[in-house]
Structure 1
Amino acid sequence: MSIEAVLNRIDENLPAATERLMTLLRIPSISTDPAYKADCEKAADWLVAELTDLGFKAEKRPAPGHPFVVARHEGPGPNLLFYGHYDVQPVDPLTLWDRPPFEPAIEQTANGEVIRGRGSSDDKGQLMTFLEACRAWKEVNGTLPGNLTIFFEGEEESGSPSLIPFMHANHDELACDLALICDTSMVSPGVPSIAGQLRGMLKEEFTLHGPRIDLHSGHYGGPALNPLRELSKIIASFHDDTGRVAIEGFYDGVHEVTAEQKRQWANCGFDEKAYLGHAGMTVAHGEQGYSALEQQWARPTLEINGLWGGYQGTGSKTVIPAEAHVKITCRLVGDMDPADLRRKLRAHVEARLPVDARVSWDTDLDGAPAAVMDTSRPEYEAARQALSDEWNREAVIVGMGGSIPIAYYFKSILGMDALLVGYANDDDAIHSPNEKYDVKSFHKGARSWARILDRIAG
């Protein structure tokens, strides 16, 4: 077996591979809109046919929403699971698209050729990089690479309501040595990136109640408790003057960034000034003593997402409101426990309630811990070396400020780490009009997976 022969075949296959991707992109598999249910079925059927043609034993599995696609190939080596999703976001507002979103085309831009169309980057283009690597591998070697399970979802863009029950029901079939996920991006253009940690999430919402009813501010202004004023005091108490969260025990379970992580992050091509400038800022406003990357990837946060109360209409209404409301989210890192943090946050608020005030909490909000991968496993270094070889620069193990729930579910339900490698760029406009995927990302993504499989599946 020669990896060079596989890479050459991927190069030769690029025109046909691109057309296969175009065929999948033409299917409007919008999962959140019931009007596209038949199209989601069509996309799943198309993938089953492609996987069967490649030599997998592939099936479409029913779900309350849209079907899963599960495929299997038994072979030597570790049992690897590749995950992707075939559903896409809605296309509204349609008027902002330069071309019909489900009529994909290759366009020439200042930075090279791109594949334009809904789902090109998130996640059909990324998903197909792995299938094209498998195709070239089989054409050269007569068999697929190693011991592979394919797991495609059709509800990722609509909250994955069927995912957890399906994973529990099919635990033994899906549990593998390692998951491979291609639904992420490169930290900078041309910088191959492996996501080793993703922040978790805690959601909270509460109402601060004061007077029995809204009060006339002329009659009660002065003696009345004003919930908005008291809520503002509580919100101000969440952070100190350095940007550090001031809730007792908030940082329990947080780990400092290692020297090796800092070295890789410093060499990842991230431009902090440009990153901040894109959002209209000149300096990072988070926790002092940490770079913008550290604040985004490795530090927890408490953010006020919504704040309201009293009169919201046009003009003035001299009222002291009976209640005030706030929505909060916390991003979690390391070993932070969302249930424990919820107790600490509520205790912090309730300890600061004045006389005659009470608080009620939304009890339907969820929380999930961070997903932290064991990047000391040899597969991570093997993948890093494979990516470095393909992209001709050092690949980096990065963090992610957001959350990818499937990575946490793989760990909590199936007990396996995930190797998250994606080839998207930040300007791909995923979820937005004019979504695109660089032809270079599609081409080198397939080559990258072939190199990774060569190193870890043999």
Structure 2
Amino acid sequence: MSASLDEVLQAIRTGIPLFLERFQECLRIPSISTAPENQPDMLRMSQWLQAEMRRIGLEHVQAYPTPGQPMVYGDWIHAPGRPTVLVYGHYDVQPADPLDEWVSPPFGAEIRDDYIFARGASDMKGQILAQLAAVEAWLAQGTCPVNLKYLIEGEEEIGSPYLDDFIRDHTDLLECDIVLNCDAMIHSAENPSITYALRGLAYFELEICTAEKDMHSGMFGGAVRNPIHVLTEVLSGMHDASGRITLPGFYDHVPTAEDDERALLAKAPYNDAAFLKTAGAFALYGEEGFTTLERLGVRPSLDVNGIWGGFQGEGAKTVLPARAGAKLSMRLIPGQPLDMVEKQLRAYLEAKVPAGCQWNLTCHSIGPGSVMHWKSPYMQAAADALKKVFGKEPFLRREGASVPVVRLLQERLGVDSVMLGFGQPDDGIHGPNEKQSLPVLYKGMESYACFLYNVGRLKPMSVHD
């Protein structure tokens, strides 16, 4: 049975009420991978996703166990001579704190105006369900223009600790021509975009200790070191006055953006005022000599994500703490050797932490950045899909965030990815009141359907062939 693209798009529009019902049901499962108390919810989310995949007509759906959360797999391989698309996503979400800053419950999936508010609405349950809705519309017509495989993990938000091993051990299962990575955003509904490069991520925890126990600040203050003072001095010294990171050798392997790429980035419909409004920040900051987009895409960054030490309760307590700590992350440019980053940080700490202080550094996760082939026929298939649905040619951009699976799949399977998702920069992912625009997501469903149609017209081939 054959189906026209117009019939599929009409089926998507007709199916929106059911989609919205399923979307809210999914969002009400608090699948927080980092929290031990939410482990039953992680299992429930995995089971819900498998049931949904079977419901729309995918086959061989199962959860592959790992030492952590299971990998959910499914496929539909009935399009001989057509490309095989591996769809990647994740079903875990970030913690919802601070809870008191949410206008509505973080797992209530409340709809206000044209937005749905919930943790995971944009990152990324909305994206994976929109893609499944597009496939459902195709399969309901009795066909699909491509072969499909799914790899949906449950630990992306904690660094995907078992993903590399799983891909390595299941290369035959995951063999494909192209990866459709739904963990992505567009710039805006008026100006759609496609990401062609991602930064890597390294995440560390640092603790500095100056004594065996907490002390009275009147009896000992001024006579022994305060670990909070030491910690803040060490952290503040990681940047110089020009915004450059001061770890020894940190920029040795950071490639310089070529003039043509800087010109490509400059074409983006971007201005600093809109960026500040989206961020809610009071002023811009960054490495001198680069635009804001360049700082986000072609330059690395280092940020302190959390800091602790001493008395944190109500009122006053004159304590001189024994220890203090911080969590910090680095966004890395493709080409920076991952095995060097921790060595550079340790060399800095060895030089900067004063004698008489003990320190301990833990690396929680580290993943590579990646650059995708933005001139490939698959990337063009995505651009054509966005142009048809949104009515405007998308622009290409580098993304400052990290999706390590893109590089892992390049290395393990020898295939590239197309980043196609429909969150937006002001969705508030990882923060309170995360939201997803429903009109944009509905267009995303149609875009996914058009993308599959366009890919189905290509010859099966890897972009590396």
Relative to 1, partners in 2 of residues 1:31 and 1:339: Cα closer, same or farther, differing over 3 Å? Answer: same
Q: Provide the rounded CA distance (Å) in 2 between the counterparts of 1:236 and 1:38.
A: 41
Q: Provide the rounded CA distance (Å) in 2 between the counterparts of 1:443 and 1:216.
A: 60
Aligned to 1:26, the other structure's residue is in SS state: helix
Q: Provide the rounded CA distance (Å) in 2 between the counterparts of 1:365 and 1:222.
A: 34
Asked whether the equivalents of residues 279 and 426 of structure 2 are also in contact (C-alpha less than 8 Å), the reply is no
Relative to 1, partners in 2 of residues 1:318 and 1:139: Cα closer, same or farther, differing over 3 Å? Answer: closer
The one-letter amino acid of 2:145's match is P
Relative to 1, partners in 2 of residues 1:153 and 1:21: Cα closer, same or farther, differing over 3 Å? Answer: farther
In structure 1, the partner of 2:377 is 378
In structure 1, the partner of 2:61 is 59
In structure 1, the partner of 2:13 is 14
Relative to 1, partners in 2 of residues 1:135 and 1:280: Cα closer, same or farther, differing over 3 Å? Answer: closer
- Mind listing any 5+ residue stretches in structure 1 that lack a counterpart? none
Aligned to 1:365, the other structure's residue is in SS state: strand
Q: Provide the rounded CA distance (Å) in 2 between the counterparts of 1:425 and 1:308.
A: 32
Q: Provide the rounded CA distance (Å) in 1 between the counterparts of 2:210 and 2:122.
A: 49
The one-letter amino acid of 2:59's match is K
- Structure 1 residues 304-324: Cα deviation after superposition (integer angstroms, max 9, x where no partner): 3344555666546385x6555
The one-letter amino acid of 1:59's match is V
Matched, 1:70 2:89: no
Is the deviation greater in 257-266 or in 196-205?
Answer: 257-266
In structure 2, the partner of 1:148 is 148
In structure 2, the partner of 1:173 is 173
Q: Following TM superposition, by how much is the alpha carbon of 1:336 offset from its aligned partner in structure 2, in angstroms?
A: 0.9
Relative to 1, partners in 2 of residues 1:247 and 1:387: Cα closer, same or farther, differing over 3 Å? Answer: same
- Structure 1 residues 315-344: Cα deviation after superposition (integer angstroms, max 9, x where no partner): 46385x655544332211121123212112
The 5-angstrom pairing of residues 246-261 of structure 1 reads 246-261=246-261
In structure 2, the partner of 1:44 is 49
Asked whether the equivalents of residues 253 and 334 of structure 1 are also in contact (C-alpha less than 8 Å), the reply is no
In structure 1, the partner of 2:124 is 123
- Structure 1 residues 50-93: Cα deviation after superposition (integer angstroms, max 9, x where no partner): 342xxx43322342545613213143233321123345567774
- Structure 1 residues 256-301: Cα deviation after superposition (integer angstroms, max 9, x where no partner): 3344444443343333213224545443211112122222222111
Q: Following TM superposition, by how much is the alpha carbon of 1:427 offset from its aligned partner in structure 2, in angstroms?
A: 3.9
In the superposition, the TM-score normalised over structure 1's length comes to: 0.81
The 5-angstrom pairing of residues 159-198 of structure 1 reads 160=160, 163-198=163-198
| Residues paired across the two proteins, number | 446
Structure of higher CA gyration radius: 1
Asked whether the equivalents of residues 188 and 269 of structure 1 are also in contact (C-alpha less than 8 Å), the reply is no
Q: Following TM superposition, by how much is the alpha carbon of 1:166 offset from its aligned partner in structure 2, in angstroms?
A: 3.4
Relative to 1, partners in 2 of residues 1:211 and 1:182: Cα closer, same or farther, differing over 3 Å? Answer: closer
Aligned to 2:383, the other structure's residue is in SS state: helix
In structure 2, the partner of 1:450 is 449
Aligned to 1:22, the other structure's residue is in SS state: helix
Asked whether the equivalents of residues 247 and 344 of structure 2 are also in contact (C-alpha less than 8 Å), the reply is yes
Pairwise CA RMSD of aligned residues?
3.7
Aligned to 1:14, the other structure's residue is in SS state: helix
Asked whether the equivalents of residues 46 and 72 of structure 2 are also in contact (C-alpha less than 8 Å), the reply is no
Aligned to 2:402, the other structure's residue is in SS state: coil
Asked whether the equivalents of residues 188 and 268 of structure 1 are also in contact (C-alpha less than 8 Å), the reply is no
Aligned to 1:152, the other structure's residue is in SS state: strand
Q: Provide the rounded CA distance (Å) in 2 between the counterparts of 1:452 and 1:338.
A: 34
The 5-angstrom pairing of residues 264-343 of structure 1 reads 264-309=264-309, 314-315=315-316, 317=318, 319=320, 323-343=323-343
Q: Following TM superposition, by how much is the alpha carbon of 1:250 offset from its aligned partner in structure 2, in angstroms?
A: 0.8
Q: Following TM superposition, by how much is the alpha carbon of 1:154 offset from its aligned partner in structure 2, in angstroms?
A: 4.5
Is the deviation greater in 165-174 or in 202-211?
Answer: 202-211
Aligned to 1:330, the other structure's residue is in SS state: strand
In the superposition, the TM-score normalised over structure 2's length comes to: 0.80
Asked whether the equivalents of residues 31 and 66 of structure 1 are also in contact (C-alpha less than 8 Å), the reply is no
Relative to 1, partners in 2 of residues 1:288 and 1:390: Cα closer, same or farther, differing over 3 Å? Answer: same
Q: Following TM superposition, by how much is the alpha carbon of 1:221 offset from its aligned partner in structure 2, in angstroms?
A: 6.8
The one-letter amino acid of 2:183's match is D
Is the deviation greater in 288-297 or in 260-269?
Answer: 260-269
Q: Provide the rounded CA distance (Å) in 1 between the counterparts of 2:223 and 2:307.
A: 24
Q: Provide the rounded CA distance (Å) in 2 between the counterparts of 1:223 and 1:305.
A: 30
Relative to 1, partners in 2 of residues 1:136 and 1:44: Cα closer, same or farther, differing over 3 Å? Answer: closer
Q: How much identity, in percent, do the aligned residues show?
A: 31
Relative to 1, partners in 2 of residues 1:18 and 1:122: Cα closer, same or farther, differing over 3 Å? Answer: farther
Q: Following TM superposition, by how much is the alpha carbon of 1:244 offset from its aligned partner in structure 2, in angstroms?
A: 1.0
Q: Following TM superposition, by how much is the alpha carbon of 1:378 offset from its aligned partner in structure 2, in angstroms?
A: 3.4
Relative to 1, partners in 2 of residues 1:22 and 1:157: Cα closer, same or farther, differing over 3 Å? Answer: farther
Q: Following TM superposition, by how much is the alpha carbon of 1:243 offset from its aligned partner in structure 2, in angstroms?
A: 0.8
Q: Following TM superposition, by how much is the alpha carbon of 1:358 offset from its aligned partner in structure 2, in angstroms?
A: 4.4
Aligned to 1:9, the other structure's residue is in SS state: helix
Asked whether the equivalents of residues 205 and 327 of structure 1 are also in contact (C-alpha less than 8 Å), the reply is yes
In structure 1, the partner of 2:400 is 401
Q: Provide the rounded CA distance (Å) in 1 between the counterparts of 2:49 and 2:39.
A: 16
Asked whether the equivalents of residues 134 and 145 of structure 1 are also in contact (C-alpha less than 8 Å), the reply is no
The one-letter amino acid of 1:7's match is D
Q: Provide the rounded CA distance (Å) in 2 between the counterparts of 1:230 and 1:154.
A: 38
Q: Provide the rounded CA distance (Å) in 2 between the counterparts of 1:214 and 1:95.
A: 33
The 5-angstrom pairing of residues 67-146 of structure 1 reads 68-75=72-79, 76-87=81-92, 93=99, 96=102, 98=104, 101=107, 109=113, 113-114=114-115, 119-137=120-138, 142-146=142-146
The one-letter amino acid of 1:414's match is L
